[in-house]
Amino acid sequence: MKFWSFRFRGLPVLCCWEAGRICSGEGVVEASLDLGLSVCRVRVDGGLAFLPGGVSVDVGLLREFAGRCDGSVCVVEGGGVRLLEEWNPAEGAYYKLRCVAEGSAPTLQVNGVYMHRVLGMTPWEDSRRKVRVLGVKPGDRVLDICTGLGYTAIHALRRRARVTSIERSETVLRFAEYNPWSRELEGAVLIRGDAFEVVRNFEDASFDRVLHDPPRFGLAGELYSQEFYGELFRVLKPGGALFHYVGSPGQLIRGKDLAKGVAARLEKAGFMASVVRKEKCVFAFKPR
């Protein structure tokens, strides 16, 4: 297993509309340089924006970025401005950090698909709800599959759980290191690798709770397989619980019921499983 030593970068990170606020002002402008977690003062003078910590950036660079108006996120680094989006040819994926509401946690887009629920809730609230439904308690050992930006891991940590989280993409983990909302990931044990292979390395009954929030079935079908569910059953303690987010892909268009199929395979693996339509998940127990 390859462990990832998470290091929050602590650099100025702005959404496009925050950059627009800085560009439209002169003198002292109030703005957030951590995606809404706090507000600071930025001095704009002579075509430069002077940020806290002795950092300055060309207003023209910010103005060019602000014109996108699509929730894009940039980082001010090395005197320049760089979008937090990247094509990874080895993974065949285009990753992008994107704000969906002003002053709230950004989501991750992979090939244009949001990795959080954003309709009627923020990505932060989406993750908090998943951890609440799982029933994480102080002292629980939690396996968080598919770290992403780390929000579910963080909410489990805030409940004083001990969290181990697995993420395949190095690009995603680097984005999390720039994302101010991900800074508390320093408290989790992070493993970079394919969850399908990594889980085999854990001992029997290693975890009290498993939070499984994989990419859609078409992108990671092996994480919905009978073989993988058998491994999750093995590493979970008797009496332990599993939250498996499935969403609702294809339900309205092709009449498919992915959640029902997931529940059936989990029961075949030994779980007691039920579909929770409201949370678009399957919730399962390992019998004692």
Which tens digit of pLDDT belongs to each residue from 84-127? Answer: 999 999 989 999 999 998 889 999 999 998 999 998 999 999 99
Residues 6+ apart with CB under 8 A from 142: 134, 136, 153, 156, 161, 162, 163, 164, 207, 208, 209, 210, 211
Domain ranges of the chain: 13-83, 117-285
pLDDT per residue over 32-66, tens digit each?
A: 999 999 999 999 998 999 999 889 999 999 998 88
Contact 136, 243 (CB under 8 A): no
Does residue 252 carry a pLDDT above 60?
Answer: no
Q: Measured between alpha carbons, how far is 271 from 284 in angstroms, rounded to an integer? A: 6
* Other residues' Cβ atoms within 10 Å of the Cβ of residue 24: 12
b vs e for 205-222, b when ≥16 Cβ sit within 10 Å of the residue's Cβ? ebbbbbbbbbbbbeebee
| 112, 216, 245, 251 from 254: Cα distances, Å | 21, 15, 20, 6
- The reported pTM is 0.94
Could you name the CATH architecture of 117-285?
Answer: 3-Layer(aba) Sandwich (3.40)
